[in-house]
Amino acid sequence: MLIASFLDYLRFEKVSSEQTVSAYEVDLNQFKAFVKSIDEEVSLLQVDADWIRQWQMSLLEKKDAPATVNRKLSSLRSFYKFLRIREKIKVDPMQKIASVKQQKKLPVFLRESEMNRLLDDVNFSEDYFGCRDQLILETFYMTGMRLAELVGLRLKDVDVDQCVVRVIGKRNKQRLIPFGDELKNLFQNYLKMRKNSFEELTTDFLFLNKNGDQISRSDVQLMVKRYLSKVVTLRQKSPHVLRHTFATAMLNGNASLSAVKELLGHASLSATEIYTHVSFEEMKKVYKQAHPRA
């Protein structure tokens, strides 16, 4: 009942996505199962910091990554904050819990030459699906939008004349992302192809599958992986790599950090700052290759 109330709070008051709500549900039910496996009589209202530390240690002993453990702790933190606000508990057990220290990984991205090979040298089929796939790849690279944002695009969200796309981001926040003539031409061609490729359309989602329905996240992930495999040997080949590539390219092109933050839809500059490290690492690599005394 407590977990169900919290999930309703996320859905209806915080307006969180179903994907976010599902992630919280999995984490909280896992913690509840852990508590019950040790003592069936203990409720989530009776849990103190020691219980949470035990769970934290059990996750690490099972070789869960620090980032995964911290995400689960974040779920508990939000849950117990909710219980404290609703006066279900007097003391928040998460106040004494510290996150697991983790090494910050630099985001994976493609270099300009690799993106040029992907967009200029790879052959796309001349049917609807080749046109769609090329546009999706270029949209990721030229706008930096997230996978969920791209899949959720509708026809009304793209203003081809003004060269701007409206994106619905996390927590239902909207932002406008400009694009250039190259993407404009691709959009114009795609919209004609979309209209002529299906006899009757009942959806206004921008990107469609073979049945004329909204394309799925997994379809886009598999498509991106297939095309990236043609030009790079990176272990990670996902839409997020193209988002990282967009951000890195913008900063390398002297865009301000605050501008990139707004384009990516980050809540704070700290989330965007990691790309400055990427740019600096790339600068060091170029320096070592170019300077005779490096």
* Active site positions, annotated: 146, 170, 240, 243, 266, 275
Which one, of 132, 138, 124, 133, lies nearest residue 193 by Cα? 132
Q: What are phi and psi of 6, to 5 degrees?
A: -65, -40
What is the C-alpha separation between 145 and 168, in angstroms, rounded?
Answer: 10
CA 168 to each of CA 139, 145, 153, 213: distance values in angstroms, whole numbers, following the listed order = 15, 10, 8, 19
The per-type count for the chain, helices as H runs and strands as E runs, is 13, 3
Strand partners, 154: 205
Find tokens 């300077």 and name the residue.
Answer: 291
H or E stretch including 166? Answer: strand 164-168
